[in-house]
Amino acid sequence: MADSMKRYPRTKDTYTIYLKNVITNPNIEIGDYTMYHDFLNDPTTFEKNNVLYHYPINHDKLIIGKFCSIACGAKFLFNSANHAKTSLSTYPFPLFFEEWELDKNNVTESWDNKGNIIIGNDVWIGFEAVILAGVTIGDGAIIGTRAVVTKDVPPYTIVGGVPAKPIRKRFDNATISELLKIKWWDWSEEKIAQNIQAIKTGNIDLLSMEKP
């Protein structure tokens, strides 16, 4: 039976990890079996190398669902990377409160706060893709190689480019609706194992026959 508590799910493969088991930041939440592969850096340093400008003062979160596949170099760019566009200047004066004798409690006024990054379940994020703050990516979506995602992505939609735009849906609307209803990723490990063949071959009718 599969073991979601492993750090390295593949024997002798130290490039691929179950991401949940190496995360220490309480503002990063990762679902079971979500994997990250990195052939350039140690994948266990994901928090440092891939989750950027994620400062505790902002209290923003990275939330990633179950069974996601994250390719090497994917980046999650948080709010503190922004600069305030409502100001007459993009220079972050509040950040340098000591220099300008400002209230140090107003540091977060240096940037526009767009909210958390939320990734659904069974999402594939391609090589060196960048996800910006405030973006929600729906279940089953695919993010293309080096795409820069600035807006929400609907479930089971393939996006690519800079900025990322929809390319096509993975399935017809009826199939997408049924998949979102089934939520196979929330099944028990035993039930998923029993239905892997149907999942692999796209047999939605067989999955739909399964009892909740």
DSSP assignment of 79-105 equals GGG---SSSS--S-GGGGHHHHT--GG
The distance between the two most distant Cα atoms of the chain, rounded to a whole number of Å, is 66
Helices (H) and strands (E) in the chain, counts: 6, 15
Q: Helices (DSSP H) in the chain: which residue ranges?
A: 46-49, 97-100, 173-182, 189-194, 196-201, 204-208
Residues 6+ apart with CB under 8 A from 209: none
Structure tokens at 6: 């492993």
Candidate list 37, 54, 59, 83, residue with the active-site label: 83
Instruction: Tell how strand 28-30 and strand 136-137 pair up.
Output: unpaired
Q: Would you call 83 a catalytic residue per the annotation? A: yes
Burial class, 9, CB count within 10 angstroms (exposed 0-12 / middle 13-18 / buried 19+): middle
What CA–CA distance (Å, rounded) separates 176 from 139?
Answer: 10
Q: Give, in order, the Cα–Cα distances in Å from 168 to each of 12, 23, 68, 202.
A: 37, 33, 19, 18
Q: Which residues are catalytic?
A: 83
